Amino acid sequence: FTPDKSARLMIDAKSIVKDIIGEDPQPGNHSSFAIEYDNPAEVDRVVEEVFKAKGKVVREPWDAFWGQRYAIVKDPDGYKIDLYAAL
């Protein structure tokens, strides 16, 4: 949910998904939850916390071409969680 209490659904092209997750989209690997942070430093901090807790960091934070600091982690059940903030 966004601050104004709305939800957002994003549908990306196959090529964008492949660039983000590093492999061709297949059933079960192309959807994820996403959490928006107020600033890029928060994304880096959360990824560091996941790493320290022996969690799975799928993709380290990077500055994406679409203008966001972005990272991907997995929860204990294996679900991907995208973490991002505007640059």
Q: Is residue 79 part of a domain?
A: yes
Q: Is residue 43 part of a domain?
A: yes
- Alpha-carbon distances, residue 4 vs 1, 10, 84 (angstroms): 8, 17, 18
76's CB contacts (< 8 A; 6+ apart) are 55
Q: Is residue 47 part of a domain?
A: yes
Q: How many domains does the chain have?
A: 1
Domain CATH for 64? 3.10.180.10
Q: Is residue 56 part of a domain?
A: yes
Tell me the per-residue pLDDT of 5-45, one tens digit each, with 9 for 90 and over: 666 667 777 787 778 777 777 766 566 688 999 999 999 99
Residue 41 is which amino acid?
Answer: A
3-state secondary structure of 76: coil
What is the span of the domain harbouring residue 26? Answer: 14-86
State the Cα–Cα distance between residues 54 and 11, nearest whole angstrom: 31
Tell me the per-residue pLDDT of 37-79, one tens digit each, with 9 for 90 and over: 999 999 999 999 999 998 899 999 999 998 999 999 988 878 8
CB 31 within 8 Å of CB 49: no
Say whether pTM exceeds 0.75: no
